[in-house]
């Protein structure tokens, strides 16, 4: 039995009108088509989808307080006490059900690291935890408190399956659960546990079939509405032609072949982290008329160029994938609201300003493609296929990518976990078959860059880390007042 939570942390964003109600986050009972795909693609273990946040704490929190805070969080966010239930035959969308066998002690752990190991030890331990597959019979998350960091610090690793939430939804979650004070808050809400639910795969299949049948009238109405468009044949033809051209552009193989230096793939992960001053990077981007995201990707491409040059391998361009958020202001909190876009990125360009201009143009074009969300049309059909059929087709495209990059705005306020201040927050995104997934999450005044690297593709970690720093130094050179990036090893 897990201990009942004690009044520990503030939740300033919790609804005041109903103090005993859970947070409005992750309330959808059924996975959407994109989440279903991410859940089932793990039929190929190379396509596993863990999302990890590594928070650096200024002190080691009291363990009982930390454990009680975790228990309280699962009451505030019922999704964390739910597991995934699949329909029979894997037909249709999985659903979330309250786990009758939920055990907090299974999900929350602490690991003491030898202080002589330094930052390398915690990054190695975090990567090892990320490589461990979820028990799909339990709620797909894990929380680990690492102690023994330099300077008496600690680290908290929160590992979620990507089907639970995308990066922006994860930031929403942490913003709702983390405190704005070291002190406890006796008046915070204490929602009761939701009753456990039993699920039958056959019943879920029958529910899916009923939903599909009920959807027929709506489909016919949509077809009728589309038919009305035929009274404007020229307008309809132009729209269809534009969509078709866009779909062809989005679906074609990237112009660039993958780098031969990065061709190998494995199940292993290696983590690297880098700190950049947020204002410094923004000023460098602004000097080139670019965005923070443009500067971020330009720094990564510079790092890839430097790494290839040091290895004596010539490469002009590489295939890159980025997520593009389609989350709207009124969308439900949590879950996944993004589309994936792939493009060919020039690596050989030495001028960081030119790199940013090129990236800006590519991303702007992708955002305005009529078929950018075409996967949402295909995904409902794909959810009726078993993972064993999905993984080879979709995974083939993912494994072609040499780089996957994501830039997410993080928390601006000072935040605390069980009385310990969170100094940094690194987001290690999933690396589904690509050579490296590198993310930028802003935390207060710092850009926290986290690289999730396949050691079979990037075989010289020390060299890659130095190239990563040098790549961002090229971008920051556009801001004469910029401070140097900081690495930890």
Please tell me whether residues 394 and 267 are part of one structural domain.
yes
Catalytic site includes residue 162: yes
358 located within any domain: yes
94 located within any domain: no
245 located within any domain: yes
CB-CB contact of 271 with 429 (8 Å): no
Residue 65 predicted with pLDDT over 50: yes
86 located within any domain: no
Mean pLDDT of the 13-23 span: 58
pLDDT at 216: 57
Q: Which of 230, 250, 270 corresponds to the end of one domain?
A: 250
pTM recorded for the entire structure:
0.87
Lowest mean pLDDT among 18-32, 60-74, 179-193, 445-459: 18-32
Please tell me whether residues 460 and 477 are part of one structural domain.
yes
Please tell me whether residues 354 and 291 are part of one structural domain.
yes
Q: Which of 229, 250, 271 corresponds to the end of one domain?
A: 250
30 located within any domain: no
Please tell me whether residues 230 and 293 are part of one structural domain.
no
Closest CA to 345 of 402, 307, 414: 402
Going 136 to 137 to 141 to 147, the CA torsion angle's sign is negative
pLDDT digits (tens, 9 = 90+) for 214-238: 665 655 565 455 455 544 554 545 5
pLDDT band at 85 (very low <50, low <70, confident <90, very high): very high
CATH number of the domain at 285, please.
Answer: 3.30.559
pLDDT digits (tens, 9 = 90+) for 45-57: 999 999 999 999 9
Residue 83 predicted with pLDDT over 70: yes
pLDDT at 10: 35
pLDDT at 5: 35
Residue 323 predicted with pLDDT over 70: yes
Closest CA to 37 of 375, 400, 427: 375
Please tell me whether residues 231 and 322 are part of one structural domain.
no
Range of the domain at 276: 254-408+447-487
pLDDT at 194: 86
371 located within any domain: yes
Please tell me whether residues 240 and 381 are part of one structural domain.
no
Please tell me whether residues 224 and 361 are part of one structural domain.
no
Please tell me whether residues 352 and 225 are part of one structural domain.
no
Domain count for the chain: 2
Residues written for the chain: 489
Mean pLDDT of the 70-99 span: 92
Please tell me whether residues 229 and 300 are part of one structural domain.
no
User: In whole angstroms, what separates CA 87 from the centre of its chain?
Assistant: 26
Single out the catalytic residue among 107, 161, 162, 178: 162
Q: Which of 197, 223, 250 corresponds to the end of one domain?
A: 250
Strand partners, 51: 160
pLDDT digits (tens, 9 = 90+) for 148-179: 999 999 999 999 999 999 999 999 999 999 99
Question: CA-based angle 266:264:360, to the nearest 5?
Answer: 100
470 located within any domain: yes
Question: CA-based angle 444:445:451, to the nearest 5?
Answer: 85
225 located within any domain: yes
Percent of the chain with pLDDT over 70: 84
Please tell me whether residues 228 and 259 are part of one structural domain.
no
Please tell me whether residues 234 and 266 are part of one structural domain.
no
Please tell me whether residues 400 and 477 are part of one structural domain.
yes
CB-CB contact of 301 with 259 (8 Å): no
pLDDT digits (tens, 9 = 90+) for 281-307: 999 999 999 999 999 999 999 999 999
């Amino acid at each position: 039995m897990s201990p009942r939570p004690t009044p520990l942390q503030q939740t300033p964003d919790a609804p005041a009108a109903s103090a005993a109600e859970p947070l409005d986050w992750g309330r959808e009972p059924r996975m959407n088509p994109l989440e279903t795909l991410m859940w089932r693609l793990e039929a190929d273990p190379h396509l596993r989808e863990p999302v990890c946040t590594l928070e650096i704490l200024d002190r080691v929190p009291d363990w009982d307080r930390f454990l009680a805070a975790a228990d309280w969080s699962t009451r505030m966010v019922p999704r964390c006490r739910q597991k995934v239930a699949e329909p029979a035959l894997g037909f249709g969308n999985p659903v979330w059900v309250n786990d009758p066998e939920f055990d907090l002690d299974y999900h929350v752990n602490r690991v003491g690291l030898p202080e002589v190991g330094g930052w390398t030890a915690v990054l190695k331990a975090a990567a090892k935890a990320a490589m461990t597959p979820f028990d799909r019979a339990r709620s797909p998350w894990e929380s680990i408190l690492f102690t023994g960091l330099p300077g008496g610090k600690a680290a908290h690793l929160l590992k979620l399956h990507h089907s639970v939430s995308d990066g922006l939804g994860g930031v929403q979650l942490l913003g709702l659960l983390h405190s704005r004070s070291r002190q406890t808050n006796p008046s915070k809400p204490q929602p009761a546990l939701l009753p456990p639910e039993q699920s039958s795969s056959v019943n879920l299949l029958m529910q899916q079939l009923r939903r599909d049948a009920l959807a027929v009238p709506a489909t016919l109405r949509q077809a009728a509405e589309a038919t009305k468009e035929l009274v404007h044949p020229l307008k309809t033809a132009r729209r269809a032609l534009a969509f078709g051209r866009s779909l062809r552009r989005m679906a074609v193989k990237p112009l660039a072949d993958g780098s031969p230096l990065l061709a190998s793939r494995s199940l292993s992960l290696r983590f690297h982290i880098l700190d950049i001053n947020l204002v410094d990077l923004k000023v460098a981007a602004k000097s080139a008329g670019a965005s923070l995201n443009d500067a971020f990707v330009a720094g990564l491409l510079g790092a890839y160029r430097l790494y290839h040059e040091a290895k004596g391998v010539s490469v002009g361009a590489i295939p890159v994938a980025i997520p593009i958020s389609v989350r709207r202001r009124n969308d439900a909190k949590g879950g996944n609201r993004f589309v994936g876009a792939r493009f060919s990125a020039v690596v050989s360009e030495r001028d960081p300003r030119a790199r940013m201009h090129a990236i800006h143009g590519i991303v702007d074009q992708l955002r305005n493609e009529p078929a950018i969300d075409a996967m949402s049309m295909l995904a409902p059909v794909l959810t009726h296929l078993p993972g064993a059929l999905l993984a080879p087709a979709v995974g083939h495209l993912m494994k072609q990518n040499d780089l996957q990059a994501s830039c997410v705005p993080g928390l601006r306020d000072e935040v605390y976990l069980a009385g310990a201040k969170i100094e940094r927050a690194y987001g290690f995104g999933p690396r589904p078959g690509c050579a490296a997934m590198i993310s930028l999450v802003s935390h207060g005044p710092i850009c926290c860059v986290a690289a999730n690297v396949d050691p079979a593709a990037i075989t010289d970690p020390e060299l890659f880390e130095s190239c990563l720093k040098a790549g961002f130094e090229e971008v920051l050179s556009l801001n004469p007042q910029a401070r140097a990036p900081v690495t930890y090893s």
